[in-house]
Amino acid sequence: MLIFLYGEDNYRSRQKLNKLKANFLAKDSSGINLQELDGRQVELAELKNAVQATPFMGEKRLIIVENILGGKNKSLLAGIADLLSQGLPESSVVVFWEAGVPDKRAKLFKLLAKQGQAEEVTLLIGQALNKWIAAEVVSRGGKIAADTASKLAAYVGNDLWQMAQEIDKLVTYKKGVEITAEDIDELVKAKLDTNIFNFVDALGRKDRENALKLLHDQLSSGEHALYLLSMITYQFRNLLIVKELLENGSNQRSIAKEAKMHPFVAQKTAQQASNYSSAGLKMIYRKLLDLDEAIKTSKIEPQLGLDLLVVGLCG
């Protein structure tokens, strides 16, 4: 049997992989017939031996291969494709797991997608994300209303690794009492940061005084300059995506789905995108990437770099 799990939502795909492993170990608790291979280091002979080995005192072997498709060794990938094309022993269950979305044009990807039980695990948005949050809260012994789950989704987005941490924190804090919107305001750092939104608005208006004030307020509150730069870059990346969708005729409702954003975030971003031209957004995004590189290579001090960015953009 051949199973192929991949997709942008590697939190849920990892959960699916862990469930497959747990189900196998429930039937074969020794673990002798479970073999896990790092696709970035595996050799063809090692994989071939793993796939063709006979189970030891059991009916099946489970072989898990992680992140093989991103490798640069073309001969290895071609060899694996040839190996799988020959078919697998009835006793071998081989799972290929990828942390993201590989190149779908690759020969090995096409083979895995065609011959295996393939599943692309996509990012959750909208009601699907809200329902997932509610279910996770309940599974951890907590309570949350639908509108509160929606607010948490707007704050954190669909990074489920971060979301799981925030849910754990909220459930632990509330100790079985229903999580409220106020709890989220108090305990969760919003990925949709109001101050970042206001800062980007000020840049769009070329309001240098207000932009610098918002920036310095954040720094004075203890936020690191590199964190602020990452959040500003994240927002301009979203603006670029949304601006392109708007110019291609998408409406605000479809933007949330196409850009894989929460509807609230998509709405706010679409409104903000109207303050910028596409060329202006691309120019600012490039400057942000250049500044990030300059800071990380110690060519400029972080706060000075941000100050100069604001002055340069606001004139």
The 61-66 sheet, strands edge to edge: 34-38, 61-66, 92-97, 2-6, 117-120
- pLDDT score recorded for residue 127: 85
103 shares a domain with 31: yes
177 shares a domain with 115: no
Of residues 62, 52, 74, the one with CA closest to residue 30: 62
130 shares a domain with 108: no
25 shares a domain with 92: yes
Give the separation between CA 77 and CA 103, rounded to whole angstroms. Answer: 13
Does 191 score more than 70 pLDDT? Answer: no
Q: How far is CA 169 from CA 140, 158, 180, in A?
A: 11, 17, 13
Q: What is residue 277's three-state secondary structure?
A: coil
Decide: 302 and 226 in contact? Cβ < 8 Å.
yes
237 token code pair: 């990346």
- pLDDT score recorded for residue 193: 62
271 shares a domain with 249: yes
Give the separation between CA 31 and CA 294, rounded to whole angstroms. Answer: 49
The percent of residues above 90 in pLDDT, for the chain, comes to 56
> For the residues 220-239, what does the mean pLDDT come to?
83
68 shares a domain with 45: yes
Query: Dihedral through CA 112, CA 116, CA 122, CA 124, nearest 10?
Result: -170
User: pLDDT tens digit string along 52-103?
Assistant: 999 998 899 999 999 999 877 888 999 999 999 888 999 999 999 999 999 8
> For the residues 200-220, what does the mean pLDDT come to?
88
**CATH number, domain containing residue 137:** 1.10.8.60
User: pLDDT tens digit string along 129-176?
Assistant: 999 999 999 999 999 999 899 889 878 888 899 899 999 999 999 999
In the chain, the number of structural domains is: 3
- pLDDT score recorded for residue 189: 72
Decide: 237 and 272 in contact? Cβ < 8 Å.
no
The percent of residues above 70 in pLDDT, for the chain, comes to 99
Give the separation between CA 34 and CA 42, rounded to whole angstroms. Answer: 16
Which of 72, 93, 120 finishes a domain? 120
Beta bridge partners of 92: 61
pTM of the model: 0.64
pLDDT band at 47 (very low <50, low <70, confident <90, very high): very high
Least confident of 65-79, 104-118, 193-207: 193-207
Q: Please, where are the H alpha helices in the chain? A: 10-27, 44-52, 74-85, 107-115, 126-139, 146-156, 160-174, 181-187, 194-204, 208-220, 225-247, 252-258, 263-273, 278-296, 302-314
Give the separation between CA 7 and CA 124, rounded to whole angstroms. Answer: 11
236 shares a domain with 201: yes
Residue 55's Cβ-count burial label (10 Å; 0-12, 13-18, 19+) is middle
Residue 221's domain comprises 194-314
Decide: 73 and 108 in contact? Cβ < 8 Å.
no
- Taking all residues of the chain, what is their mean pLDDT, rounded to a whole number? 90
305 shares a domain with 201: yes
Four-residue CA torsion sign, 67, 68, 74, 78 = negative
Beta bridge partners of 62: 34, 93
Does 192 score more than 80 pLDDT? Answer: no
